Structure 1
Amino acid sequence: MSVSRSDCFSDLLCGEDSSIIFSSGGEDLMECSPEQDFLMPEVQESIAGLIENERDFMVPCSDYIEKLQSTQAIDASTRADSVAWILKVQRFYGFQPLTAFLSVNYFDRFLYSRQLPKMNGWPAQLLSVACLSLAAKVEEPLVPSLLDLQVEGAKFIFEPRNILRMELVVLRVLDWRLQSISPFSFLSFFAHKIDPTGTNTGFLTSRATEIILSNIQETSFLEYRPSCIAAATILCAANDLPHFSLVTAQHAESWCDGLHKDQINSCHQLMQQTASANRPRKQPKVLPQLRVTTRASITWSDSSSTSFSSSSPYKRRKLNNSLWVDNDK
């Protein structure tokens, strides 16, 4: 006897009237536009609550950097390499930006509480894989296997059982608190504050997300709250649009209680400095050298012709190694 799909899941359905759920014009349903949604008191209170509790998921910047420098178990460059690898895997699998942020958040919170043994760098790589795996399990609908997760130039390949053991260690150190308040929690709200019409909010949030990920390797940004980082990145994104170029940190301070213009301005300036330092410089254009020969110089004796033909391959190899193009071709 065959059982239909609807019969299999009938016990999981609630007793509500489906007409209430799927009705499009019921009088009891309040229709709200995106602009009205952000003006509702519940949204304002939610954002205020996030700002109030965001410090609980932050790593004390000064203490953390001092600890890293004193223990010498991991330095800023090793952390930057670990974060860079996490971002590569995030792009490789198309993970959400929040997955990468949570991975780095777990990484920093763990190192703030525990010290890794310095053994040729493999403990930092194992911690990176474990943090990325945990974050992917929290945020991603589909998670690659632990072996497939170790891609994009992973320096060491670990067995799945060792990664699972490291995940358990991370969970215990973090007290099983995997949810975190991130800058992404504020982007849509702040973008709406700049553009209430919603015309450019998509661009503002997308550009701000790129800026956050591009600065996640810098330990200097650990000093700022997620809400401050979100406000500063929205300002950077707004500066790319001519009609929003006059929005300043003083305007951002009025978006919500708990924001401070001095902190936002300082974070904004740091982002601009980092972007300027990381901007690739244009390499000078090298023009190929042209060989000019006269008709008389083309006449060689048999010996000279033999010597030229024997040395010609070496000259071509040397030019190819120097990234020059054969002019004859």
Structure 2
Amino acid sequence: MEGLLCDEDWLSTSAETHGKRLSLVCVGAKEDEDEEQAAVSVCMAKEMSYMPEPHYKEFLETQDLVFVRLRCIQWLLKCRSRWNLSHGTVFLAANYLDRFISKNRTKEWKDWMVELLGVACLSVACKFHETYPPTLTQIQMEDYMDHVFDESSIERMEVTLLKALDWHLCCPTPYSYIHLLGLNLESSLLMANITELLVGAVLDHRLMPFKPSLIALSTIWCSLDLLPPITSQPSLSYFMRLFNHPHKDEMMKCRAVLEAVQSSRCPQSPTSVLMKDQSY
């Protein structure tokens, strides 16, 4: 997976240049599209092996774990801001968290157990994904959760986590698909909207049943709605071809949930309205 990640930057932060860039993506050389489609296909072929166990969403709801999971993911995001971690690290940690809980449904989960697991997940994700990972002491400096754990407890939890996941850490996430396609999340207002949607997706348990590729494509789809049709339609067609999802009904369901997540987080911003009306 790491070998497939693309470091290509979008070439401008201006809306005009970004619109042109999207058009260039859509009419690029067929060989480039074939390479990107092959890379996406590799991730899609293995993503089911890295998802939580079936009916995980329902388990969270019946065990009253929705809120504590939400707080844990919020803490991951706060740590990302404090230590300038990548979005990829947060999505990996969230994936580890959900997979571990879904594999341990017989346990009577307490809030402190989820918090300890969250610290261990972030620690492992940082070691796997960051060049200079923060220490366990630094990780817990973000005063958001209710408990502080000693290093030995966290390290034991890390070992338990790694064994439960069978050391399968390089997992496709919605963010990894965005990164794979060379979409730099800091390069424009459009990419900022994708970031906001991705964060909303990882926070909301209602998207648990959907594959990461579906979430990534739905995020791109929703964000392209901010552009004029002359730009958004060719771009959407390009990304649809890349992902080539056979189950269109699932794609529509995923987009509907993502739109509900978006509307529940905040109303449409004036910036989004202006972008919709702006010509490129």
The aligned residue for residue 174 of structure 1 is 165
SS where residue 158 of structure 1 aligns? coil
Matched, 1:105 2:95: yes
Q: How far does the alpha carbon of each residue in 1:212-243 deviate from its partner, in whole angstroms, 9 at most, with x for none?
A: 11221111111111111111111121112224
> Highest relative contact order (Cα 8 Å, sep 6+), 1 or 2?
2
Tell me the amino acid that sits aligned with residue 173 of structure 1: A
The share of aligned pairs that are identical, in percent, is: 27
**Paired residue total:** 240
For 2:114 and 2:155, the matched residues in 1 are separated by: 15
**Bigger mean CA deviation after superposition, 166-175 or 145-154:** 145-154
SS where residue 215 of structure 1 aligns? helix
Change (3 A) 1:225 1:249: farther
1:239 pairs, out of 225, 243, 267, with 225
The aligned residue for residue 30 of structure 1 is none
The aligned residue for residue 4 of structure 2 is none
Tell me the amino acid that sits aligned with residue 59 of structure 1: P
For 1:247 and 1:135, the matched residues in 2 are separated by: 36
For 2:50 and 2:173, the matched residues in 1 are separated by: 9
The aligned residue for residue 248 of structure 2 is 261
* Offset at residue 255 of structure 1 (A): 3.1
Change (3 A) 1:168 1:225: same
For 2:35 and 2:181, the matched residues in 1 are separated by: 16
* Offset at residue 105 of structure 1 (A): 0.5
Change (3 A) 1:60 1:90: same
The aligned residue for residue 317 of structure 1 is none
Change (3 A) 1:247 1:279: farther
The aligned residue for residue 57 of structure 2 is 65
Tell me the amino acid that sits aligned with residue 175 of structure 1: D
For 1:269 and 1:248, the matched residues in 2 are separated by: 20
The aligned residue for residue 165 of structure 1 is 156
Which structure 2 residues correspond to residues 153-302 of structure 1 after superposition, within 5 A?
Answer: 153-187=144-178, 202-203=187-188, 204-242=190-228, 243-246=230-233, 252-279=239-266
Q: How far does the alpha carbon of each residue in 1:85-138 deviate from its partner, in whole angstroms, 9 at most, with x for none?
A: 11111122111111111111001100111144444x211110110001111111
For 1:37 and 1:129, the matched residues in 2 are separated by: 44
Matched, 1:46 2:39: yes
Q: How far does the alpha carbon of each residue in 1:38-61 deviate from its partner, in whole angstroms, 9 at most, with x for none?
A: 725443222212112211111145
Change (3 A) 1:81 1:247: farther
For 2:100 and 2:181, the matched residues in 1 are separated by: 30
Tell me the amino acid that sits aligned with residue 102 of structure 1: L
Change (3 A) 1:45 1:82: same
For 2:247 and 2:240, the matched residues in 1 are separated by: 5
- Structure 1 or 2, whichever has the larger Rg, is 1
Tell me the amino acid that sits aligned with residue 32 of structure 2: L
The aligned residue for residue 143 of structure 2 is 152
Kept in 2, the 8 Å contact 1:54–1:225? The answer is: yes
Q: How far does the alpha carbon of each residue in 1:147-183 deviate from its partner, in whole angstroms, 9 at most, with x for none?
A: 1101132311111111001100100111111110112
